[in-house]
Amino acid sequence: MASLIYTFGSQILSFTACGGAGIIATISGMTNGNHLKDGRSRFPFMLSWQKGPEAGFTLIELMVALGILAVLAGVVILNIGSFFGDSAKTKTWGTEQHQVSSAAGLYRVAGNIIPQPFTVGPPPLGKKVLDPYLLGQLQYTWIIGTDGSVNPTEAYLFSSDLNSLDGFTSLRGSWLAGGGVLRPTGSSENRLVANGGPWEDFIFEATATLLSGNSSGYGMYYRCTSDPNITGYVFQFDPGLGNQFVVRKVMQGQEFPPFQAVPMPAGFPLNGEHKISVSVQGIHHTIKVDGATVLDFDDNQFRSGTVGTRSWSNNSFTEVNFTEFKVSPQ
């Protein structure tokens, strides 16, 4: 007989291979005193191997035990990272989905049935029934299906119909939104950010049309802060800099010279409608204009934040309309 014991929080999940008797799964509480005040184990991730009085293990017993270890190893590793580093590092959308999926799987292995879908997420929603199986605070909201599947409640991390400024904060200048159009109205520089995040890995998409101000331009902030002295990256559609696509770093509201730049293609229509996509994953940045990659580089100075837009005027007022604004998970 071979047993594999998996201790998670305040419960013990035990798998026992008994030769011809098959596999027996049991779950029980812990009463050894190694608990915090809220009932969680001080050492919530423990695996132990026990051997019965027989002289050895059968091949079937070993195969069963190794299979169980393979399934649980990923769960243990993911949750150890969550237990020790959840408050210090923002989880990515994909990593959190994997963690919630693992927790839902353990919930079902413990013998629980999900009669109807339920939702888990950040406070005040919380995790509820998944509390014993998933440590750390959730950042996103998920729907758990009756089969244990895990899906986001929204297709986007942030999106706006641009019929109002709800969900946005103006940091400088002034902005108007209505009829599906977001536009700056200040005479010099205008800055605006989305009330969301911080996010690590995401795709920020906007559709913009420069109507006037060909000596100036507009930009898209990403992985940025939401305070007036903004810090982060900004991609700029910049006719005023010799018709270039550039990326700058902004520190405490101060812009630094571009560290990435490429000329716009010959004959590129400055005043046309253009769809811009800014994708960041880890240290990798990919920026596309109308589906074509214009900048592709690595930089790790800013690792998370929100997104926003800006415009500025040099010799003439910059009039630009944004007709799409959304952030998707990677």
Each residue of 133-167: pLDDT tens digit?
887 778 778 888 899 999 877 778 888 999 999 99
Is the model's pLDDT at 226 over the cut of 70?
A: yes
Q: What is 158-329's CATH number, 2.60.120.560, 3.90.550.10, 3.40.225.10, 3.40.190.10?
A: 2.60.120.560
| Confidence band, pLDDT 50/70/90 cuts, at residue 11 | very low
- Identify the pLDDT of residue 304: 95
Beta bridge partners of 143: 119, 151
Lowest mean pLDDT among 25-39, 217-231, 279-293: 25-39
Share of the chain above pLDDT 70, in %: 71
Instruction: For residue 24, give the DSSP letter.
Output: E
| Confidence band, pLDDT 50/70/90 cuts, at residue 73 | low
Using CA atoms, how far residue 144 sits from 104, 107, 140, 141, 329, in Å, is 7, 11, 13, 10, 18
| Confidence band, pLDDT 50/70/90 cuts, at residue 227 | very high
Is the model's pLDDT at 61 over the cut of 80?
A: no
Helices (H) and strands (E) in the chain, counts: 2, 23
| Confidence band, pLDDT 50/70/90 cuts, at residue 125 | low
Is the model's pLDDT at 57 over the cut of 80?
A: no
- pLDDT digits 0-9 by tens, 294-313: 999 999 999 999 999 999 98
State the Cα–Cα distance between residues 186 and 174, nearest whole angstrom. Answer: 5
Question: Which is nearest to 6 in space by CA: 43, 56, 55?
Answer: 43
Is the model's pLDDT at 28 over the cut of 50?
A: no
Is the model's pLDDT at 171 over the cut of 70?
A: yes
Is the model's pLDDT at 177 over the cut of 90?
A: yes
Lowest mean pLDDT among 121-125, 183-187, 218-222, 325-329: 121-125
Give the highest mean pLDDT range of 86-90, 152-156, 185-189, 210-214: 185-189
| Confidence band, pLDDT 50/70/90 cuts, at residue 84 | very low
State the Cα–Cα distance between residues 19 and 1, nearest whole angstrom. Answer: 7
Task: Between 265 and 46, name the one with better pLDDT.
Answer: 265
- Identify the pLDDT of residue 46: 43
State the Cα–Cα distance between residues 3 and 17, nearest whole angstrom. Answer: 6
The radius of gyration of the chain's CA atoms, rounded to the nearest angstrom, is 26
Question: Which is nearest to 220 in space by CA: 209, 200, 240, 234?
Answer: 234
State the Cα–Cα distance between residues 48 and 239, nearest whole angstrom. Answer: 65
**Residue 150 CB neighbour total at 10 angstroms:** 19
Using CA atoms, how far residue 288 sits from 146, 147, 207, in Å, is 39, 38, 12
| Confidence band, pLDDT 50/70/90 cuts, at residue 74 | low
- Mean pLDDT value across residues 67-83: 53
Residue-range domain boundaries for the chain = 2-152, 158-329
Beta bridge partners of 205: 277, 326
